[in-house]
Amino acid sequence: QSVLTQPPSASGTPGQRITISCSGSSSNIGSNTVNWYLQVPGTAPKLLIYSYNQRPSGVPDRFSGSKSGTSASLAISGLQSEDEADYYCAAWDDSLNGPVFGGGTKLTVL
């Protein structure tokens, strides 16, 4: 059972905008920054969004992050087939004294 809660799956059609939610608590998302990672099955995770809504170089601006209270969201606009992957949210947890991850959301592009 992951500390951060994500929907196990999400889907959309090419060109569509989708969001993936990440729910936490006051000890993690509520008081710390949120980061998002993308993982193509069989490969290592890659940083997608850091400090809520910053993108590393090379990540297109179709990807954006936001936070409200103890929840965060990842939005992907102009969905493309290559966006199919698993997406994980993460945040430091003050109670557990370490970063915690969501269980991951498998994105399917129909």
Interface positions with another protein (CB under 8 A): 2, 32-33, 35, 37, 43-47, 50-51, 56, 88, 90-92, 96-104
Q: Tell me the one-letter amino acid at 31.
A: S
Which CB, 17 or 46, lies closer to another protein?
46
- Closest approach, Cβ 56 to another protein, in A, equals 6
Which CB, 85 or 100, lies closer to another protein?
100
Joined together, the tokens standing for residue 97 give: 């004294």
- Closest approach, Cβ 15 to another protein, in A, equals 29
- Closest approach, Cβ 18 to another protein, in A, equals 20
Please spell the DSSP secondary structure of 19-71, one letter per residue.
Answer: EEEEE--TTTTTTS-EEEEEE-TTS--EEEEBTTTB--TT--TTEEEEEETTE
CA distances to 17, 31, 70 from 27, rounded to whole Å, are: 30, 6, 9
Which CB, 28 or 76, lies closer to another protein?
28
